Structure 1
Amino acid sequence: MGAFEYRAVDPAGKTRKGVMEGDTPRQVRQQLREKGLMPLAVTAVAEGQGKPASVRRRLFGGRVQAGDLAVITRQLATLVRSGIVLEEALGAVAEQSEKPRLKSVLMAVRSRILEGFAVDRALAEFPGAFPELYRATMAAGEQAGHLDVVLERLADYTEARQQLQQKVFLALLYPVLLTLVAVAVIAALLVHVVPQVVEVFEHIGQNLPPLTRGLIATSEFLQQHGFMLLLAAAALIILANYLMKRERVRRRVHRRLLRLPLIGRFTRTLEAARFARSFSILIASGVPVLEGLKVSAQVVGNLALREALERVRAKVREGGTIHQAMAAEGYFPPLTIHLIASGEASSNLEQMLDRAALTQERETETVISAAMGLFEPVMIVVMGGIILTIVLAILLPIFELNQLVR
């Protein structure tokens, strides 16, 4: 029995989409007619296999959000822990899901497992939905016969990763919004308010203070070229986005980021937490060390650090230790290296990696809190200074007029 995506029309004339199980498309069409629906198209979900990645993304909605993956993983872990086989658990979670594309992916995976495919092969057909770490961990759990335990670990991992992503996103959202509002307010003052105020000084016939002349020149420049500046800024953003898609450019940018005083430390801490957390769950699930290093490196977003981890893997393959190879790269936090060294010496690498991940995540949260606590007063001072400059530029000619009158 396979899974089929359908598009049908109900008696009210509305188009409905969904997923239904059946042996053949004809059987699915018959089931739709029995429900009072007029079938328009019935497509086997498993037809995404063998098609190009772009076609599969169009059919199955591309990537799955971290929040959705965390939810379905926790649901699968709960059901499998209760003694329900994976195929039935996938069907139940798919039925529970309210997102049609996510439901299609889950039903497709269930269909492939029912056909006899291993879990990792079924998941591999949807790399945008299930990362390599997810697939490798599931494969190790299936081979060891502890799929319930592995799913619990994956659920904890995906939830912790989602929470960390949310914290970083919310931390960056506030300063970005505050900066945009500040720029908009200052631009509105210069373009609309300042011209009306300084228009009074045009007929005075006296030399204006340098600060006032500079304010008028800035206001006139923004009025004449403000739209061009917006277009130029948009073009720069598009160009930067285009260049960052090139691996060579992205590698150079990532290396420079690591050299910056505050941003470099934050990046190393965040990426070290991701690596340690991923490597920990892989080792705990029974994945070999070399394979775990390979998969964990793909979780790291910074290309310079990812390449460093690949060199670490090569040295470990040649007989070296993980902590010595990481220390030789010079990128990774010393605390993480010491904890990994302790884990290798005591044959307790899993717990030491987990402790390293927890420590680095807490340090990341501390850095974020400190940066946010510093950014707000700095932004207030900067905005206050700019507005004070505008006010002084307007008031100085008035003060000079008062002195002339006296």
Structure 2
Amino acid sequence: MPVYQYTAKNLQSQVVRGTMEASTAEVVRRNLRQNNEFALKIQEVQEYKTAYKLKPMEISDFSRQIASMLAAGITMIRAISIIEERDIKPAIKKVYGVLHKEIENGNTLSFAMEKTGGSFPELLINMYKSGEASGQMEETARKMAEHYEKEHKLRTKIKGAMTYPLILLGVTVIVVLLVFTLILPQFFTLFEGIELPAITQLMINISSSMITYWYLYIIGTLAMIAMFGFLATLPTLKRGLDQLKLRIPRVGKLMKIIYTARFSRTLSSLYSSGLAMINALDISGSTIGNTYLQGQFPQVIELVRNGEPLSVSIQMIDGFDSKLVSTIYIGEESGNLDEMLSNVADAFDYEAEMATTRLVAFIEPMMIILMAVVVGGIMLSVMLPIMTLYKNIG
């Protein structure tokens, strides 16, 4: 039975805090009222705090093991016990320990996953609920293993493709710091007493300030990172940033493909497992990873609920690739919507990989040009006064 933490006031207006075991929050409220205490806040206590969120490949491995052992006739409690006993990270072992304890108490796997405090994604929990209700747990687990394996592969490819540009950016920052703090100061005394070009004076001023007030630069950088991190959590600003991602040249096209692939695969998995289209759309919208797109789904769901075909309703979404609408229409006409969604997700995965490759091919020369401009500007600021000195000597 759940445990609730409450804050209440008694007849003397004193604040009372405590915990109570009850079936629902309303039962807690009623029990408090019987004791002449009036609830101000009631919150279910999370029984377990595993503090570990499983990564896509770890979820895929977990689901594949579940599917294999269920196919072999092994019971769920025994399957979880076997998985828990394997040589795995302590944090993951703790999560599996929670599952084992809950299933041992007679609960379902999906209920146990909810009790881990966020270790498993909402999509997986809902899919397992559907599998448990339909008696197709083995097939559902296998499908989820494939789903998260594809998600992992796509993320890995994108991260791998962006590694080189990030290295170039890091090298550029390090070179600039070394030039401003170690190389430029050696020319300060050489340039004393002569009129300097504006660019040289600017570089010297920047260099001097970095050497003298280096701690302010560090504090300022950390403060900006913290400020942007905080602003990114604000719902309105986060929605605006997510919308901006879809508008940036080249990057926006890649993001549209990635979001469309993720939505298609999720909707295909949910719909093929027997979940109602309304519920499948609601869950799929929440797992895309873009608040701007997610905010448009209530309107789509309302249209579908009123009898509009999905192919017509989905056109309301600003941010999906136009190919998705045509695919859904064909799927509806042929009666193979789940299969068509799965096929288009695979196609978009390939397109995302190609788009990432093209984007990196564009970013790499831009980073090299940026590095050349910065270093070239610094060299020019040093060479101009040196040339002036040589002329004066001549």
Shift of 1:127: 4.8
Say which is worse superposed, 234-243 or 166-175, in terms of deviation: 166-175
Contact 1:56 / 1:62 at 8 angstroms: preserved in 2? no
Contact 1:283 / 1:292 at 8 angstroms: preserved in 2? yes
Contact 1:297 / 1:310 at 8 angstroms: preserved in 2? no
Give per-residue Cα distances to partners, 1:35-68, cap 9 Å, x unaligned: xxxxxxxxxxxxxxx9634x632xx233222232
| 2:328 pairs with 1:340 | yes
| 2:385 pairs with 1:394 | no
Shift of 1:380: 1.4
| 2:185 pairs with 1:195 | yes
Contact 1:136 / 1:287 at 8 angstroms: preserved in 2? no
Q: Any idea what SS the aligned residue of 1:109 has?
A: helix
Specify every segment of 5 or more residues in structure 1 that has no aligned partner in the other structure, as ranges.
Answer: 1-49
Contact 2:251 / 2:359 at 8 angstroms: preserved in 1? no
- Distance of aligned partners of 1:291 and 1:397 in 2 relative to their CA distance in 1, 3 Å threshold: same
| Cα distance in 2, alignment partners of residues 379 and 83 from structure 1 | 56
| 2:367 pairs with 1:379 | yes
Matches within 5 A, 1:253-292: 253-292=241-280
Contact 1:198 / 1:394 at 8 angstroms: preserved in 2? no
| Cα distance in 2, alignment partners of residues 286 and 165 from structure 1 | 28
Shift of 1:235: 0.8
| Cα distance in 1, alignment partners of residues 104 and 198 from structure 2 | 80
What amino acid maps onto 1:72 in structure 2?
F
1:96 maps to: 86
TM-score normalized with structure 2 length = 0.83
| 2:231 pairs with 1:239 | no
What amino acid maps onto 1:394 in structure 2?
V
What value does the CA root-mean-square deviation take over the aligned residues? 2.1
1:117 maps to: 107
What amino acid maps onto 1:382 in structure 2?
L
Say which is worse superposed, 212-221 or 269-278, in terms of deviation: 212-221
| Cα distance in 2, alignment partners of residues 293 and 109 from structure 1 | 28
- Distance of aligned partners of 1:319 and 1:97 in 2 relative to their CA distance in 1, 3 Å threshold: farther
2:32 maps to: none
2:157 maps to: 167
Q: Any idea what SS the aligned residue of 1:56 has?
A: coil
| Cα distance in 1, alignment partners of residues 59 and 349 from structure 2 | 21
| Cα distance in 2, alignment partners of residues 349 and 147 from structure 1 | 22
Relative to its length, the structure with more helix (as a share) is 1
- Distance of aligned partners of 1:381 and 1:252 in 2 relative to their CA distance in 1, 3 Å threshold: closer
| Cα distance in 2, alignment partners of residues 258 and 290 from structure 1 | 26
1:157 maps to: 147
Give per-residue Cα distances to partners, 1:89-115, cap 9 Å, x unaligned: 111111114223322322332333333
Shift of 1:336: 1.1
Specify every segment of 5 or more residues in structure 2 that has no aligned partner in the other structure, as ranges.
Answer: 1-42
Contact 2:293 / 2:317 at 8 angstroms: preserved in 1? no
Shift of 1:167: 2.2
- The aligned length equals 352
Shift of 1:189: 0.3
1:45 maps to: none
Give per-residue Cα distances to partners, 1:204-237, cap 9 Å, x unaligned: x432333333322232233234432331221121
- Distance of aligned partners of 1:100 and 1:394 in 2 relative to their CA distance in 1, 3 Å threshold: closer
Contact 2:263 / 2:284 at 8 angstroms: preserved in 1? yes
Q: Any idea what SS the aligned residue of 2:100 has?
A: helix
Contact 1:150 / 1:285 at 8 angstroms: preserved in 2? yes
Q: Any idea what SS the aligned residue of 1:259 has?
A: coil
Contact 1:284 / 1:350 at 8 angstroms: preserved in 2? yes
Matches within 5 A, 1:132-151: 132-151=122-141
| Cα distance in 2, alignment partners of residues 274 and 177 from structure 1 | 28
Contact 1:140 / 1:287 at 8 angstroms: preserved in 2? yes
| Cα distance in 2, alignment partners of residues 115 and 338 from structure 1 | 48
- Distance of aligned partners of 1:345 and 1:127 in 2 relative to their CA distance in 1, 3 Å threshold: farther
Taking only the aligned residue pairs, the percentage that are identical comes to 26
What amino acid maps onto 1:271 in structure 2?
Y
Contact 1:279 / 1:353 at 8 angstroms: preserved in 2? yes
- Distance of aligned partners of 1:127 and 1:271 in 2 relative to their CA distance in 1, 3 Å threshold: farther
| Cα distance in 2, alignment partners of residues 318 and 124 from structure 1 | 32
